[in-house]
Structure 1
Amino acid sequence: MTATHLNSSSNNKNIVISTDRLLSMLSSPQRWSLKTVSYVAMGILLTFDFMIIRSPPFLVRLALAVLLASSTMIPYIRRFTVPAMPIFTWLITFYANQFIPADYRPGHIFVNILPSLERILYGANLSEIISKHQHPILDVLAWLPYGVIHFSLPFIFALALFIFGPPKSLQVFGKAFGWMNVCGVLTQLMFPNASPWYEMSYGSAPADYTIPGEAGGLARIDKILHLNLYGSSFGASPLVFGAFPSLHSGSATIEMAFLVYLFPKAWPLAIGYTMWMWWSTMYLTHHYLVDLVGGSIYAFLTFFVARRYLPKVRPECRTRLDYLGIKEVSFRSFFQSIEFRANYGYLANKCDQDQDEYEKLMHATVDMDGMPQDVLVLMEPEEKMELRLRRFDGNMDDEENMGLSYSGSSSPAEPASPTTPRTPLSFPQFPLHSKA
């Protein structure tokens, strides 16, 4: 009876301890990190999108959902899909907007608030003024950034960031780009506003969700190209009244912010391209200047959050391979570099700490028999640190450390030798190493 009672008490005690530990884990603020919150938000959004989308059919949507979810668990594929998941969430959410019933949308569509703010802040409707002076050459100059570069630049810049940027910078860019657009689409959905083309076509008449979208100035591009490309695409837009914020401006701003991060001297190009995009959107009557400023604010706020996760750019490294210590420059080397992961923030801090300790060892003052003595420590020449990459096929997340370790070249300390009062060999805080 006594043994049984003791075992029962022990089990109850273990249950209490386990319950307390579980409650502490659930209530711990460290468990609810920014990454965890982002995953929960994406799960809620994608579940909502899956429920309201009516095309393609249910079985096709289910297969695509299972395929997307399983791709985050496959060791190699997940290295692409996990960082790109915010982008997938943005695209799917934007597509799902067309299936939201009008009863579940905001009841009022703002028609006059943006042009009124335009006149209050800037003294005039700049979009109306800029769009009055039309010419085929200006049409093409406005079409290039708005209708061509805007859709191709994210892929081109992602490739450049992969080749020339430090590892993990591309993943940070993908997540920041996706979340900036997700926040923009949700704002457009909950705060619907009409674009300048609506004011030119309907004036100040109240708007409703049965009004189709228009291509604005891009209709002139369709005439030049003898196509119905933009007329059909904007006419079937899932989000017609999404003037604020301008995601064209937001995308250009966040891309240029990452460009300046990678190449600081490219800031004139960044400002020039952003201003070009601003002019084209107003010339084509798709956005007010208020929308453009709002889109850039969304981009800057997102970049300031993402900047803390960006690895440090090292001026001596020209390509991704230099960061990884790979000397052979080839397509195969770049492809194989995808298989390796590294916590470069930890590596950089470790190198800085080692360098500080080396500098401390160069000169020191110690007490020898009660007398202060200046000690000069001889050290081996500093060489370029080599990295040994370890293959890792496990199911790790992108923010975890990659199999990266140092490959030292120093041999054990020299054997003891006769010393003088000024020789630091007898002090453990001054180890001497020599080449093998």
Structure 2
Amino acid sequence: MEPQPTANEAVVPQRRSPTLAQRVRDTPPGVLYGALGGMGAYLVAMRLFQGVSRPEQLALCTAMLGLVVWSDATRRFFIGMLPFLLFGIVYDLTHITQPLFRYLHIHIAEPYAFDRALFGIREGGAVLTPNEFFARHHWPVVDLFTGTAYIVFVYWAIGFAAYLAIFRRDEEGRRLLARFGWTFLLMNVVGFATYYVYPAAPPWYVADHGFGPADFSVRSSAAGAARWDALTGIPYFAGFYGRSADVFGAIPSLHVSYPLLTFLFGIELRRRWLDLASFALFALVSFAAVYLSHHYVLDVLLGVLYTVVAWGIDRWLQARRRAGAAGA
């Protein structure tokens, strides 16, 4: 026979996991309705203008809603990562505005002429842009490293943010995550807006289609990154650029911005390995952008400028906040 608990022994009841309905009821209404409204507007807009909702769009919204209602911890993670989720949605929405390019002047020759004049490489009696030089001279091992860097660059920034959201939940860590996230979003929104203010053709477009009137039927190309696909047997870039919306969005190069911004904010953690890795990735992506014929040197320099200005705005706001706190 099993021993029976004595009168002095407390019987501890087993705690039941809350049901989904209870989790929804426990979610702060502002967060719940804001998330539902935002996701609903996004899906409706994509449905109206594209005529279809892609599986990854539905999966993203389902994951976001799950984070919102599951627990306080997942809600904090959702709020911390919100700028990066908004970045993905804003980028996807650029598919809707893509037809506007037909009414804009596309700059095809100007970026090419700038790079040829300032960074031209003389070979065989002709002056080549760095892109043209590397189109003639490329090597499998460099293709492998540059292509890999071109995959990692965005995940590096998002991984840094996820680390802060999960492992740095102190006040300093939360503040750093918020500053990094909203600066990241601001930089991207301004960069996307520049695509419409100064739409520019990338180097691969000039190599494939020349300097004639802009061909708006052209789809985005993997360019030199296709060599990475062929080398590894993984059609990553063919699939990625097959869905890209910004054929004439070469200026600025936001590829270089993500690891550089991670480096600038990561310095505050005082992790030497992180600083070295972020800066090395930034340097490699900067080279890869030119080597793979996705960007001119001009585009890379402007990407650096946009990043430094965005980071500088954050530093200025922090200085004002500290000055206000000291005055108070």
Name the CA shift for 1:54/1:300 in 2 (closer, same or farther; >3 Å): farther
Residue 364 of structure 1 is matched in structure 2 by none
Bigger CA radius of gyration: 1
In structure 2, distance between residues paired with 1:158 and 1:129? 37
2:105 alignment partner, SS class: coil
1:250-329 to structure 2, matched below 5 A, reads 250-263=257-270, 269-308=277-316
Alignment partner, residue 132 of structure 1:
136
Q: TM-score, normalised to structure 1's length?
A: 0.53
Shift of 1:263: 2.3
Q: Partner of 2:256: helix, strand, or coil?
A: helix
* Residue 156 of structure 2: aligned partner: 153
- SS of 1:86's partner is helix
Is contact 1:154–1:255 with CA below 8 Å preserved after alignment?
A: yes
Deviations 1:278-310 (A, max 9, x none): 111111111111111111111111111122456
Aligned-partner residue type, residue 142 of structure 1: T
Give the equivalent residue in structure 1 for 2:112. 115
- SS of 1:185's equivalent in the other structure is helix
Structure 1 residues 223, 254: CA separation in 2 closer, same or farther (over 3 Å shift)? same
Question: Does the 8 Å CA contact 2:256/2:286 hold for their aligned counterparts?
Answer: yes
Q: CA deviation at 1:277?
A: 1.2
Equivalences, count: 269
CA contact (8 A) 2:115 2:297 kept: yes
1: CA distance, partners of 2:267 / 2:93: 34
Aligned partners of 1:157, 1:82: CA distance in 2, in Å?
15
Aligned equivalent of 1:28: none
Q: Deviations over 1:36-68 (max 9, x none)?
A: xxxxxx9xx9799567454329xx98xx59x87
- Structure 2 counterpart of 1:201, from 192, 197, 208: 208
Matches within 5 A, 1:172-183: 172-183=179-190
Shift in alpha-carbon separation, 1:86–1:219, aligned structure 2, 3 A: same
Alignment RMSD (CA, Å): 3.8
1:249 deviation in Å? 0.9
> Is the 1:90–1:185 Cα contact (8 Å) retained in structure 2?
no
Q: Report if aligned partners of 2:199, 2:249 keep a CA contact under 8 Å in 1.
A: yes
Partners of 2:253 and 2:98 in 1: CA distance: 24
Would you say the 8 A contact 1:86–1:174 is kept in 2? yes
Compared with structure 1, are the counterparts of its residues 71 and 105 closer, same or farther at alpha carbon in structure 2 (3 Å cutoff)? Answer: farther
Cα distance change, pair 49–261 in 1 and its aligned pair in 2 (3 A)? farther
1:133 positional shift? 1.7
Give the whole-Å Cα distance in 2 for the aligned partners of 1:52 and 1:145. Answer: 33
- Flag structure 1 segments of 5+ consecutive residues without an equivalent: 1-41, 312-342, 354-436
Q: Distance in 2 between matches of 1:302 and 1:103?
A: 26
**Distance change >3 Å, CA 103–CA 288, structure 1 → 2:** closer
Choose between structure 1 and 2: higher helix proportion. Answer: 2
Post-superposition offset of 1:95:
1.2
- 2:87 aligned partner: 90
Counterpart residue type for residue 118 of structure 2: L
Higher relative contact order (CA 8 A, sep 6+): 2
Does the CA-based 8 Å contact 1:49-1:93 persist in structure 2? no
In the alignment, is the contact (CA less than 8 A) between 2:188 and 2:254 conserved in 1?
yes
**Matched residues in 1 for 2:183 and 2:43: separation?**
21
Q: State the Cα distance separating 1:109 from its structure 2 match.
A: 1.7
Cα distance in 1 between the residues matched to 2:183 and 2:100: 32
Paired position in structure 1 for 2:53:
56
Percent of aligned pairs sharing the same letter: 24
Distance 1:48 1:307 in 2: 37
Write the distance in 2 (CA, Å) between the matches of 1:275 and 1:258.
Answer: 16
TM-score between both structures, scaled by the size of structure 2: 0.68
Q: 1:186 to 1:238 in 2, by over 3 A?
A: same
Q: Amino acid of the residue matched to residue 260 of structure 1? A: I
